[in-house]
Chains A and B, each alone.
Chain A
Amino acid sequence: KNQVEQSPQSLIILEGKNCTLQCNYTVSPFSNLRWYKQDTGRGPVSLTIMTFSENTKSNGRYTATLDADTKQSSLHITASQLSDSASYICVVRGVESGGSYIPTFGRGTSLIVHP
């Protein structure tokens, strides 16, 4: 069964500090992995996408890493800001057939940035 596990479940940091969120998955065969940011009461928004051959990808202060061998990904946030407070969701897509695209979602890490 395809699964995506995220840790920690929640995290509190001070503004300006860095943090790293973890994602482990069992989806196989693997197609791509995305990190989404979900602000409270809003829909998730894609931050990064990584395919099998990519190890690192950055989007501003967000840097995602992928180790396809160990099936692990991380999202590193540098110099956190109050606006980074949100839920961060790891989403993994397998190689589907029949034209349907059904990703597997993690439960998310709730990040709170305090001033």
Chain B
Amino acid sequence: SQTIHQWPATLVQPVGSPLSLECTVEGTSNPNLYWYRQAAGRGLQLLFYSVGIGQISSEVPQNLSASRPQDRQFILSSKKLLLSDSGFYLCAWTDSSNQPQHFGDGTRLSIL
């Protein structure tokens, strides 16, 4: 069966520090991968999506970046975090437009 793992579950970082959130998927090949951010009381905002290794599309301008070094690994990074980067970050995958997106349990990021 397919599983998706995100870590860490919670993270507290100072302003200006770097960030690396990792997401891995098991049990499937060549999935579409997504990074979302969900601010308190808001909907999910798509940050990045990837249809294959090394293929990254960005939906919104920001100081975050994403990479897909392996087929089932998706990494969200930042060189210098801003206060506005606080939020709940969710990774998701799907392998078909007729299949649901499967979400990880998210990372709660707090910037101090």
Chain A contacts to B: CB under 8 angstroms: 31-32, 34, 36, 41-46, 49, 89, 91, 93, 96, 98-103, 105-108
The CA-CA distance from A49 to B46 in the complex, in Å, is 20
Q: Which of B13-21, B60-68, B74-82, B100-108 contacts A (4 or more CB under 8 A)?
A: B100-108
Kindly state the separation between the CA atoms of A41 and B108 in the bound complex, as whole angstroms. Answer: 8
Closest to B94 in A: A101
Contacts of B26-84 to chain A: CB distance below 8 A: 32, 42-44, 46, 49, 51, 57, 59
Say how far A105's CB is from chain B's closest CB, in angstroms. 5
Interfacial residues, chain B to chain A (CB-CB below 8 A) = 32, 42-44, 46, 49, 51, 57, 59, 88, 90, 92, 94, 96-98, 100-101, 103-106, 108
- Is the beta-carbon distance between A105 and B43 smaller than 8 angstroms? yes
C-alpha gap A49/B32 in the complex (Å): 19
Besides A32-B98, A46-B101, 19 other CB < 8 A contacts? A31-B97, A32-B97, A36-B100, A41-B105, A41-B106, A41-B108, A42-B106, A43-B90, A43-B105, A44-B90, A44-B103, A45-B103, A49-B100, A89-B44, A100-B49, A101-B96, A101-B97, A102-B46, A107-B43
With a cutoff of 8 Å between Cβ atoms, the chain B residues found around residue A108 in the complex are 43
A98 to B104, CA, bound (A): 25
The answer to whether A42 touches B105, judged by C-beta atoms less than 8 angstroms apart, is yes
User: Which residues of A are found within 8 Å of B101, using beta-carbon distances?
Assistant: 44, 46, 91, 103
Identify which of B51, B59, B108 gathers the most chain A CB atoms within 10 Å of its CB: B51
Q: Smallest CB-CB separation from A32: which chain B residue?
A: B98
Complex contacts, B43 vs chain A, CB 8 Å: 89, 105-108
Given contacts A89-B43, A99-B51, A100-B51, contact A43 B100 (CB under 8 A): no
The answer on a CB contact under 8 Å between A100 and B32 is: yes
Query: Known contacts A41-B108, A89-B43, A100-B57; is A34 also within 8 Å of B32 by CB?
Result: no
Residue in A43, A89, A107 with the greatest tally of chain B CB atoms within 10 Å = A43
CA distance A93 to B43 in the complex (A): 16
Q: How far is the CA of A53 from the CA of B44 in the complex (A)?
A: 27
Q: Which of A34, A91, A99, A103 has the most CB of B within 10 A?
A: A103
